[in-house]
Amino acid sequence: MDRDVFTEALLSVMERKEHWAWPRFTSGEVAADRLHVHLEQEYAVYVRDFPVLVARAYVQCPVAAVRRELAENIYEEETGGLIAGRPHPELFLEYPRGLGMDLARFEAVAFLPGAAAYRAFLDDATQTRGWSVAAAVTTLFLEGTPHDRSVLDPDAPARPEPPLEQHPLVVHYGLPVEHLALTKAHRRVEGDHRAAAWRVMLEHVSPASRELVVAAMEDALAAWLVYRDDVATAVGLER
């Protein structure tokens, strides 16, 4: 698999990272008293442990240049020391805090079946398939969006960034804007993190590992879609 084919295969996965229910989340169709389900599952499945997942790629990687990219990502996610000022998992909890939710629920989340399977995949991908797969699944798939082509092509449409006052949680659920600390942080670091993720993939993943990385990305997409199906059902949405 040459570099161009590899690039397009990865972009194909990212451009399919869309779920039928998401427009209904962002349009306020989820009842306010069920929204906690979505936030709890996201937090427990990957947000809380995201620095650990990336660190698994770091400790397996023999390439110093890649380790430096991963180390910067881990440091910011774990401490907020470069941009956010606080660990990103803590900033995520500002969403439920601002919505008046019981934060004790986030300390012992019961996984939905799809969530459990998705987390099991993430653990396997970051622990047993080598650094290239671990880095791809975390920095490319988990952090990335369907707009990732814009990282490589300035003419491709970038991810929209409407004013914070238009954020769905603010518009439909009354979240005070000051609780969008994680959204603000992501907007400040996203460009660097996306560029670094693609730089690692395209400059440092060996040709021999490319098919394995693409296969893992396809697996990530499949598991994520099932996970999001379960969340949608749990909050009362039907396809």
Is residue 66, in this structure, part of any structural domain at all?
Answer: yes
The continuous run of DSSP H or E covering 12 comes out as: helix 3-15
Instruction: Determine the structural domain holding residue 56 and report its residue range.
Output: 17-131+158-189+222-234
Average pLDDT, the chain: 95
How far is it, in rounded angstroms, from Cα 42 to Cα 35? 11
Is residue 145, in this structure, part of any structural domain at all?
Answer: no
Mean pLDDT calculated for residue range 130-149 = 97
pLDDT confidence band for 85 (50 / 70 / 90): confident
Is residue 202, in this structure, part of any structural domain at all?
Answer: no
Is residue 95, in this structure, part of any structural domain at all?
Answer: yes
Is residue 198, in this structure, part of any structural domain at all?
Answer: no
**Is 70 exceeded by the pLDDT of residue 191?**
no
Is residue 153, in this structure, part of any structural domain at all?
Answer: no
Instruction: Estimate to the nearest angstrom the gap between the alpha carbon of 133 and the chain centroid.
Output: 15
Is residue 179, in this structure, part of any structural domain at all?
Answer: yes
How far is it, in rounded angstroms, from Cα 60 to Cα 90? 27
Q: What's the CATH code of the domain at 43?
A: 1.20.910.10
Mean pLDDT calculated for residue range 156-174 = 94
How far is it, in rounded angstroms, from Cα 196 to Cα 71? 11
The answer to whether 92 touches 43, Cβ cutoff 8 Å, is yes
The answer to whether 80 touches 91, Cβ cutoff 8 Å, is yes
For the chain, what is the domain count?
A: 1
Is residue 216, in this structure, part of any structural domain at all?
Answer: no
pLDDT confidence band for 139 (50 / 70 / 90): very high
How far is it, in rounded angstroms, from Cα 119 to Cα 132? 18
Two tokens at 236? 């009362």
What digits encode the pLDDT tens for the residues 96-125? 999 999 999 999 999 999 999 999 999 999
Helical packing angle, 210-234 and 35-42, nearest 10°: 150
